[in-house]
Amino acid sequence: MSSGTGVPGGGGGSTVVLGEQDVARALTRVAHEILERNKGGADVVVLGIPTRGVPLAQRLAERLAAVEPGVVAEQIVGALDVTMYRDDLAQHPTRAIGRTVEPPAGIDGRVVVLVDDVLFSGRTIRAALDAINDLGRPKAVQLAVLVDRGHRELPIRADYVGKNLPTSTAERVRVLLAESDGSDAVLIEGGE
Amino acid sequence: MRHLLSTTDLDTAAAVHVLDTASQMAATQGRQIKKLPTLRGRTVVNLFFEDSTRTRISFETAAKRLSADVINFAAKGSSVSKGESLKDTALTLEAMGADAIVIRHQASGAPHTLAHAGWTEAAVLNAGDGTHQHPTQALLDAFTIRRHLKGTAANRDGVGSDLSGLHIAVVGDVLHSRVARSNVDLLHTLGARVTVVAPPTLLPVGIEPWPCAVSYHLDEVLADRPDAVMMLRVQRERMSTSGGGFFPGPLEYTRLYGLDARRLAMLPEHAIVMHPGPMNRGLEISADAADSPRSVIVEQVANGVAVRMAALYLLLAGDGDATGQARTPAELLVPTTQEATR
At B46-87, the pLDDT tens digits run 999 998 999 999 999 999 999 999 999 888 777 777 778 899
CB-facing half-sphere around the CA of B195: CA atoms within 13 A: 20
Phi and psi at residue A8, to the nearest 5°: -60, 135
Partner residue opposite B31 with nearest CB, options A84, A98, A135: A135
User: CB distance from B339 to chain A under 8 Å?
Assistant: yes
> Are residues A94 and B33, on separate chains, in Cβ contact within 8 Å?
no
- Mutate: best of A52, A74, A84, partner B, most B CBs <10 A: A84
Task: Give the Cα separation of B100 and B91 in Å (integer).
Answer: 13
Residue A183 is classified by DSSP as: S
pLDDT for B319: 54
Contacts of B317 in chain A (CB under 8 A): 89-90, 94-95
pLDDT for B342: 54
- As a whole number, mean pLDDT of residues A87-103 equals 87
At B173-218, the pLDDT tens digits run 999 999 999 999 999 999 999 999 999 999 999 999 999 999 999 9
pLDDT for B8: 95
Residues of B annotated as catalytic (active site), given as ranges: 54-55, 82, 104, 134
Task: Give the Cα separation of A51 and A174 in Å (integer).
Answer: 13
C-alpha distance from B312 to closest chain A C-alpha (Å): 11
Whether the pLDDT of residue A30 is over 90: the answer is: yes
Contact B142, B19 (CB under 8 A): yes
Name the E strands within A53-123: 77-79, 111-119
Task: Give the Cα separation of A56 and A27 in Å (integer).
Answer: 8
- Helix locations, A90-147, DSSP H: 123-135
- As a whole number, mean pLDDT of residues B10-19 equals 96
Straight-line distance from the first to the last Cα atom of chain A, in angstroms, rounded to the nearest whole number: 23
Q: What is the complex's ipTM, to 2 decimals? A: 0.82
Query: Percent of chain B at pLDDT above 90?
Result: 80
pLDDT for A122: 96
Whether the pLDDT of residue A4 is over 60: the answer is: no
Report pTM: 0.89
Nearest to A186 by CA among A70, A2, A12, A17: A17
Class of residue A177 by CB neighbours under 10 A (exposed 0-12, middle 13-18, buried 19+): buried
C-alpha distance from A136 to closest chain B C-alpha (Å): 9
pLDDT for B31: 87
Which amino acid does the sequence have at A69? P
Contacts of A90 in chain B (CB under 8 A): 317-320
Cα three-residue angle A153-A154-A156, rounded to 5 degrees:
125
Partner residue opposite A94 with nearest CB, options B24, B322, B332: B332
The region, left, alpha or beta by phi > 0 then psi within -120 to 50, assigned to residue B146 is: alpha
Nearest to B181 by CA among B109, B261, B268: B109
At A45-72, the pLDDT tens digits run 999 999 999 999 999 999 999 999 999 9
Contact B201, B243 (CB under 8 A): no
Whether the pLDDT of residue B11 is over 90: the answer is: yes
Partner residue opposite B318 with nearest CB, options A85, A94, A98: A94
Q: Is B71 helix (H, G, I), strand (E, B) or coil?
A: strand
Q: Which residues lie below 8 Å from residue A190, measured CB to CB, with a gap of 6+?
A: A11, A13, A14, A170, A171, A172
